[in-house]
Amino acid sequence: MIKQKNNQTLSIVLPARNEAENLRILLPKLRQAYGYAEILVIDDGSTDDTQAVCKANRVRTIRHPFSMGNGAAVKTGARKATGDVIVFMDADGQHDPADIPRLLEKIDEGYYLVVGARIPSSHASLARRLANGFYNRFASIMTGYRIKDLTSGFRAVRAQRFRKFIYLLPNGFSYPTTSTMAFFRAGFPVTYVPIQAGKRKGKSKIKLLRDGARFFMIILKIGALFSPMRLFLPISLFLFSSGSALYAYNFHIQGRFTNMSLFLLMSALFTLLIGLLSEQVSSLHYRGIEGNGEDR
């Protein structure tokens, strides 16, 4: 494998499931432009001609015996890739190979994670645009960083750093969500490069309502794991304020302290204690990460 700038080698990883039609177009472009790089397709249990297309284009392929999920394919690719820098991109043709150098430039500047952030017009519908905007805003609040595209699968990472978080990544479509928040929480430099995502050929495997609800739950889980007090403290304050207001109202009207007031105040205390405990547990995931490994 030929080395890139700063003496780094490059791997391009494409998770694929039944993407033969799109790979016929994408793989020749990648081989022509990045023949020096390792191009690795993770076939996630495809039932079409994905294997044959990869073989015809002479790219390395690793096949899952059955469909294990997009995130599982990404984790397999991260483990098997040999490059110092890994570029993850979808195999459905949405991501333009010409944008890869723009991501690598940011890696050369010292960033550990570079995300290709889709401009609003890239989203297929107004509903998806609004949903993506909501998730980006919500995740930004949970992490304390501005997140421009929470779910983009087009990203460049320093391989050593990315592998430290593999055990946290889910097997489904939400690996971009988890990896982005993990890098932010660990204090690693993250940046975004605006991209125009194309329209995929074939039917998308992501359902807006079903997977939208999953992304929302994942944000809550990641918030509890990576930034617990940002989640639990506002809830505790709300419960405390409600309990205090209810106590003041009942004391003024009835001259007594009600069980509901006590319940709300105790709930506020317990929620705060859970948040403090979660904060301590969260810090264990990052013990020693900053000092391990060498970045080139």
155 and 241 co-located in one domain: no
Structural domain count, the chain: 2
Q: Under a CB-based contact definition with an 8 Å cutoff, are residues 192 and 236 in contact?
A: no
Q: What percent of the chain has pLDDT over 70?
A: 82
Say yes or no: 38 and 183 in one domain: yes
> Sorting pLDDT into bands at 50, 70 and 90, what band is 293?
very low
Has residue 78 got a pLDDT over 60?
A: yes
In this structure, are 202 and 239 located in the same domain?
A: no
Tell whether 294 is covered by a domain.
Answer: no
pTM > 0.75: yes
CA gap 43, 55 in Å, rounded: 12
pLDDT over 90, % of the chain: 50
244: containing domain: 228-284
Q: Which of 20, 37, 156 is nearest to 86 (CA)?
A: 156
Domain boundary among 171, 206, 241: 206
SS3 content of the chain, % helix, strand, coil (to 5): 55, 15, 35
Residue 221 has pLDDT above 80, yes or no: no
Residue 79 sits in a domain of what CATH number?
3.90.550.10
Q: Among 174, 206, 238, identify where a domain stops.
A: 206
Residue 202 falls in which region: left (phi positive, over 0), alpha (psi -120 to 50) or beta = left
Residue 294, pLDDT > 60, answer: no
Name beta bridge partners: 3: 9
